[in-house]
Amino acid sequence: MNAPGFIREERDDTIFVRVEGDWILENGLGRIDKALRQLSMDSLNQNLIIDLDGLGLIDTTGAMMLQRTMRHCGKRESLTDLLHGFQGGNGRQRKLIERAASVLEDCPVDAPRPSQFIILLDRVGRSAENMIADGLAITSFLGQTLVTLVRVLSQPKKLRMTSLVHHMEESGLNATLIVGLMSFMIGAVVAFMGAKILSQFNASIFTVELIGISVLREFGVLLTAILIAGRSGSAYTAQLGSMNLNEEIDAMRVIGIDPMEALVVPRVLAMVLVLPALAFIAAMLGLLGGALVSWTVMDISPALFLTRTQDAIVIENFFVGLVKAPFFAFVIAVIGCYQGMSVEGSSENLGKRTTMSVVQSLFLVIVIDAMFAILFLELDI
Amino acid sequence: MTDASNIIISVKGLKTAFGDFVVHENLDLDVREGEIIAVVGGSGTGKSVLMRTILGLNPAREGAIRVFDTDILKADERDLHEVDLQVGVLFQSGALFSSMTVLENVLAPVREHLSLPWELQRDLGAMKIAMVGLPRDAANKFPSELSGGMRKRAGLARALAMDPKLVFLDEPTAGLDPIGAAKFDELIVSLKDSLGLTVFIITHDLDTLYAASDRVAVLADRKVIAVGPLDEVRETPHPWIQEYFSGPRGRAALKSNGTVSGRMPEKSDGS
Ligand SMILES: Nc1ncnc2c1ncn2[C@@H]1O[C@H](COP(=O)(O)OP(=O)(O)OP(=O)(O)O)[C@@H](O)[C@H]1O
Ligand SMILES: [Mg+2]
């Protein structure tokens, strides 16, 4: 293929342009775009004649560029003849150029860009507004969930058992291994820390208290919640979000199925039921990890570890930990479902919502944990 | 010109299956350069699967597929890429990139393969968008903000962005209003005439068959049971074909389009 090009000659008030080569997009039309625009500018107040005899192949882009040059983005007084100003060329070429006339764009004027500072202000304002709107929407969704939950629980026939059990398996049973493994290792890590630091004060035996209190009261439940938020909360968002993009949720509504009842309630309920169980497993395996390290590193025998745990660690620590689990679960599930139901438009938005779901639920889990800490401090537990 | 050099897609003895479920068996089909071939067949007979297999998106169990003299089933990445450059595809569901505007969607193949000045990209995109009959303000909309028919058009604009030699269209007129569908048929024919485009079009639309197709291939019983000019195919005694063309819609389309005369491939010497 020959590179596209043109030769320009001026006679009196007429510009003659002889087109050469193959005007095919891949063949380097991009390189002559600028020169053509210049030609179009120069010829604005003159006659322009484009001679097609030297033209080889041409595609729609080539035709568009020639026609655009001729019409100068519609600034030339409206030409009724679609081939006005073109000479020569074979039937196929002329037809393509003729067709290009009707699909030509007016010269687009790029809108003036506002200054960077205005853009900054605009974005700050928008995000603040979004944050407030999001907060209100979550609150409203929370209320809606609670209302539906109460309604479903008061009419147990409305509870979708299959779905409930499925989600309990998905976010509970299938997560046991990873939750257990994680808290076992956390217990071990805490024990190592105790062994290293407390032995400097000749107080290695207090490692048992350290492990007991930290694992039972905080780490077990908190880390389980964090893991489940990342694992199942995000899955809820992705599931509901892609259903939303697919208009499945709208389809449910028109069939007369309440998506809150069919999708949200089983997930929230499943989470609230399984997270305490997972937190319990986490606490036990955390103790086991701690006991194992205490035994191997500090020669605290399992029997001693057990009696000391029973004596020194008040049972309240255990309940203080577990009582937080359903609250964490509720927040994780509600945020996950809310973000999923709010997905709109694109799969990119789905990704963004999934990230937001994890970030928000982690944040709220920590906030709730802190509030519980203050509460228990006041209550002196 | 020998007959073989005219053939742009050749499918021989194709077998495709999902698990135990056989979709095609012993399927043969040739598509000639510069023709519009319409593939018809009942729902679920494997038209879309055939298209995906020809494009190398679906594995074949047996058989051979050649597109532009490239063996699709054996080609390496680079050869497939060469083929992709000359092929445009409109998927049944549009398959627009949801995070991009219509203009960006249309320009996606151009940007991937060429580096053009922005002004030319803009003009090019605007032209393709206008060509498929989308309003100008659609350019900056996202796919989720378009109607179903508009999404089809945007998908077509993207398929045509690089002026491909071969275009695959999966039910392009489904979901278009009748006026739009007729314009669409016209557009396809005019592109074929002016650019020498080869078009592989899957359709249920009888009007498209009459208005745009040079040849028709009928898919049934896991293979192509008839292929040829519409008049010939219509005479085939197969029960599905008879029902298809002499059902109420078939008769209505025949009445409004008359007999198919004159709609023969330009090159009629290829015997
Ligand atoms: N990914 C897949 N897995 C299993 N089976 C599939 C898959 N894709 C398609 N099929 C089956 O292959 C058959 C052919 O499907 P295909 O989508 O090609 O139908 P079609 O002819 O395009 O129908 P329509 O006119 O409705 O679009 C169908 O029976 C379908 O169930
Ligand atoms: Mg299909």
Q: Each residue of B82-122: pLDDT tens digit?
A: 888 888 888 888 788 887 889 999 998 888 888 888 888 88
pLDDT of residue A73: 56
Please report, rounded to a whole number, the percentage of residues in chain A having pLDDT higher than 90: 45
Largest CA distance in chain B: 56
Return the closest-CA partner of residue A67 out of A117, A17, A109, A113. A17
pLDDT digits (tens, 9 = 90+) for A330-342: 999 999 999 999 9
Pairwise CB contact (< 8 Å): B115 & A30 = yes
* B19 Cβ closer than 6 Å to some ligand 1 atom: no
Separation in Å, CA of A58 to nearest CA in chain B: 8
Distance from CA of B17 to the nearest CA of A (A): 27
Contact B122 A108 (CB under 8 A): yes
Dig out the tokens for B88 from the structure: 């445009």
Atom of ligand 1 nearest to the CA of B47: 21
Looking at residue A197, its pLDDT comes to 87
Cα of A28 vs centre of ligand 1, distance in Å, is 41
Alpha carbon B176 to chain centroid, angstroms:
16
Name the more confident of A102 and B172: B172
How far, in Å, from the CA of B92 to the mean position of ligand 2? 6
DSSP chain B: --TGGGEEEEEEEEEEEETTEEEEEEEEEEEETT-EEEEEE-TTSSHHHHHHHHTTSS--SEEEEEETTEETTT--HHHHHHHHHTEEEE-TT----TTS-HHHHHHHHHHHH----HHHHHHHHHHHHHHTT--GGGGGS-GGGS-HHHHHHHHHHHHTTT--SEEEEESTTTTS-HHHHHHHHHHHHHHHHHH--EEEEE---HHHHHHH-SEEEEEETTEEEEEE-HHHHHT---HHHHHHHHSHHHHHHHHHH-S--S---S-----
pLDDT-derived band at A110 (thresholds 50, 70, 90) equals low
What is the model's pLDDT at position B98? Answer: 81
Nearest Cα to A32, choosing from B119, B233, B77, B256? B119
B130 class by beta-carbon count within 10 Å (0-12 exposed, 13-18 middle, 19+ buried): buried
**Amino acid A270: pLDDT:** 95
Is A82 a residue whose pLDDT tops 60? Answer: yes
Write down the mean pLDDT value for chain A. Answer: 87
Q: How far is it, in rounded angstroms, from Cα B110 to Cα B108?
A: 5
Alpha-carbon distance A16 to A88, whole Å? 13
Q: Do A346 and B98 touch (CB under 8 A)?
A: yes
Q: Which of A78-87, A281-290, B22-31 has the lowest mean pLDDT?
A: A78-87
Q: According to the model, what pLDDT value does residue A76 have?
A: 60
Q: Does A70 touch chain B (CB under 8 A)?
A: no
Q: Where are the alpha helices (DSSP H) in chain A?
A: 29-42, 60-71, 91-102, 116-154, 161-171, 176-198, 207-213, 220-228, 234-245, 248-255, 259, 265-298, 302-312, 315-341, 347-379
The confidence band for B2, taking pLDDT boundaries of 50, 70 and 90, is: very low
Is 90 exceeded by the pLDDT of residue A113?
no
CA–CA dist B72, A52 (Å, integer): 39
Task: Choose from A184-188, A312-316, B235-239 the range with maximum mean pLDDT.
Answer: A184-188
- With a cut of 60, say whether residue B268 has pLDDT above it: no
Provide the CATH topology of domain A5-102.
Transcription Regulator spoIIAA (3.30.750)
Higher pLDDT, A226 or B192: A226
Over residues A205-240, the pLDDT tens digits come to: 888 888 888 998 889 999 999 999 999 999 999 999
- The token duo for B149 is 């028919």
What is the C-alpha separation between B137 and B78, in angstroms, rounded?
Answer: 38
Does B136 contact chain A (CB < 8 Å)? yes
CA B115/CA B221 separation, integer angstroms: 47
Residue of B nearest to A245 (CA): B144
End-to-end CA distance of chain B: 10
| Mean pLDDT for the stretch of residues B172-191 | 83
Per-residue confidence (pLDDT) for residue A177, from 0 to 100: 94
Q: Is B43 in the pocket of ligand 1 (CB under 6 A)?
A: yes
Tell me what the mean pLDDT of segment A113-124 comes to.
Answer: 88
Q: Is A35 on the interface with B (CB under 8 A)?
A: no
Burial A235-256 (b: 16+ CB within 10 A, else e): bbbbbbbebbbeeebeebeeee
Ranges A259-273, A282-296, B4-18: which has the least confidence? B4-18
- Residue A140 pLDDT grade (very low, low, confident, very high; cuts 50, 70, 90): very high
Banded model confidence at residue B1, pLDDT cuts 50, 70, 90: very low
pLDDT band of residue A196 (cuts 50, 70, 90) is confident
Question: Is it the case that residue A1 has pLDDT exceeding 80?
Answer: no
In whole angstroms, what is the distance from residue B162 CA to residue B112 CA?
11
- ipTM score assigned to the predicted complex: 0.72
Higher pLDDT: A30 or A360? It is A360
Mutation test of the interface with chain A: which of B85, B119, B123, choosing the one with the most A Cβ atoms within 10 A? Answer: B123
Q: Where are the domains of chain A?
A: 5-102, 126-379
Residues 6+ apart with CB under 8 A from B193: A92, A95, B266
Backbone phi, then psi, for B237, in 5-degree steps? -75, -5
Given an 8 Å threshold on Cβ–Cβ distance, is A60 in contact with B127? yes
Task: State the pLDDT at residue B260.
Answer: 46
- Which residues, 6+ apart, have CB-to-CB distance to A282 below 8 Å? A179, A180, A182, A183, A219, A220, A221, A223, A224
| Radius of gyration from C-alpha coordinates of chain A | 35
Q: Confidence band (pLDDT; 50, 70, 90) for B266?
A: very low
Q: What is the spatial distance between Cα B63 and Cα A7, in angstroms, rounded to a whole number?
A: 52
Evaluate: CB of B49 within 6 angstroms of ligand 1: yes
Per the model's pLDDT, the better-predicted residue between B63 and A101 turns out to be B63
> C-alpha distances in angstroms, A282 versus A178, A179, A369?
10, 6, 17
- Report the pLDDT value the prediction gives residue A229, as an integer from 0 to 100: 94
Looking at residue B5, its pLDDT comes to 58
Burial of B54 (0-12, 13-18, 19+ CB in 10 A): buried
Under DSSP, the state recorded for A156 is G
Instruction: Give whole-number Cα distances, B139 to A48, B128, B149, B153, in Å.
Output: 31, 10, 15, 12
The pLDDT score that the predictor gives to residue B263 is: 42
Residues 6+ away with beta carbon under 8 Å from A257:
none
Angle at A272 between CA A271 and CA A274, to 5 degrees: 65
Regarding pTM above 0.80, the answer is no
Find the ligand nearest to B47 CA: 1
Q: What is the mean pLDDT of residues B28-32?
A: 90
Q: What's the rounded Cα separation, in Å, for the pair B120 and B133?
A: 20
Give the pLDDT of residue A380: 79
Report the interhelical angle of B178-195 vs B148-159 (nearest 10°): 0
User: Which of B22, B49, B53, B93 for a ligand 1 pocket mutation test, highest count of atoms within 8 Å of Cβ?
Assistant: B49
Indicate whether residue B16 lines ligand 1 (CB < 6 A). Answer: no
| pLDDT tops 50 at residue A293 | yes
pLDDT tens across A160-188, in order? 899 999 999 999 999 999 999 999 999 99
Alpha-carbon dihedral angle through residues A206, A211, A214, A217, given to the nearest 10 degrees? -110
